[in-house]
Amino acid sequence: MSATATARRWVFAGALVLAVLAALRLVVPVGSVPGRMLASVLDVGYASSVLRLTVPIAFAALGGIFAERAGVINIGIEGFLIVSALTTVIVARRLPWAGVTGPAALWLAFLVGVLVSVAVAAVFAVLVVRYRSNQVIAGLAVWLIALGLAPFITFTLFDSSSPTIDTFGTWSVPLLSELPVVGPVLFDASPTVYMLLVATPLAWYALRYTRLGRRIRACGENPKALATGGVSVSRVRYAGVLISGVLAGVGGAGFTVGQVGTFVAVGQTSINGRGFLGIVAYLFGNYNPFAAVGGAMLFAGFDSLQLRLQQIGALDIPAELFGILPFVVVLVTITLVRRTRVPAALGEPYEGEE
């Protein structure tokens, strides 16, 4: 069912977005404002900013897919993003003391950020796979711990609640970046955008055609059958959760050193729910990597739109309304368009092996 249902979801979400835009037009006084609104959407800058904002959400979504397809609910993905973002900032700020500077320091910081995310994922995996934690509660706990650690560590190490670092900047691909429209959007972008463009088809291919991918899917659907075939369910689940840690780490570290160049430690931190949006994105995309990244793009589109519409002074719409729009669209969509096909053994600890 998944292909048709996913397609239907897309049509529905598209229609919903159009309906929202149409409704906005009714609210907004006629004049130059709607024109300026449309202009701000149909523009190369908007497309690049959407792509940029997609990256962390999409990596969170890809990560979530690997854990859940292996049968492990990973509500804690937001925590993975926070931890990797925090680590990246700390390492990038401390490396110059050790004499490492420039891009080398940034890339090292990125790498350490990913590694720490993987380490957290490993602890989480041991708890849920070996010790059969309640997966939803353990995931929430990972998020809550990260939410506490971020300000605690930031306040002890730095004078500011939002330490800043340099970013990767953009890489432009020779020749291709000069193509009209597509060039500046796809080929003059942050390295993290390229990573996403590579990771998405790779994740799709890995899940569908590799041995590990097939095992991960079997593990989420019918772990007993997998065990009967002589494969260790625990090992496959460990692999799923660790891959999820890698991808989420790339999302969190990449967001920090690839785009914003800062880590805000207060409130919801600079990650600000992007991990949760990732979860919703893969539910929306029915666990298909391409569709999930599409969902992430939808949220990023709203996020970016909000920033742009705020710049049009004449437009009197509260920013918060745009902030919640993605959540509303997602809630309505996952509610009205066919039930999400959840892996059958999701959330169930496997009891068969010691």
Is the backbone of residue 102 left (phi > 0), alpha (psi -120 to 50) or beta?
left
CB of 140 to other proteins, least distance (A): 6
Binding-site member from 3, 8, 38, 152 for other proteins (CB under 8 A) = 152
Q: Is 280 in the site for other proteins (CB under 8 A)?
A: yes
- Nearest approach, Cβ of residue 271 and other proteins (Å): 13
CA distance 137 to 296: 25
Examine residue 147 and tell whether it contacts other proteins (CB under 8 A).
yes
Binding other proteins by CB under 8 A: which of 180, 229, 313, 318? Answer: 318
327 binds other proteins (CB under 8 A): yes
By CB under 8 A, what part of segment 80-109 binds other proteins? none
CB of 197 to other proteins, least distance (A): 27
Considering only the stretches 1-9, 151-159, 214-222, 289-297, report the one whose residues sit in contact with other proteins under the rule CB under 8 A.
Answer: 151-159
Closest distance between other proteins and the C-beta of residue 94, in Å? 9
- Alpha-carbon gap, residue 67 to 243, rounded angstroms: 8
According to the binding rule CB under 8 A, does residue 336 interact with other proteins? Answer: yes
Q: What's the min distance (Å) between Cβ of 255 and other proteins?
A: 19
Residue 51 · residue 193 · CB < 8 Å: yes
Candidate residues 62, 95, 125, 150; the one interacting with other proteins per rule CB under 8 A? 150
| Out of 140, 173, 231, 312, the residue judged to bind other proteins by CB under 8 A | 140
Contact 54, 297 (CB under 8 A): yes
Return the bridge partners of 189, or none. 171
Q: Does 65 bind other proteins (CB under 8 A)?
A: no
Determine, following the binding rule CB under 8 A, whether residue 341 of this chain makes contact with other proteins. no
The answer to whether 305 contacts other proteins (rule: CB under 8 A) is no
- Positions touching other proteins (CB under 8 A) are 75, 127, 131-134, 136-138, 140-153, 155-157, 267, 273, 276, 279-280, 283, 318, 320-321, 323-324, 327-328, 330-331, 334-336, 339-340, 342
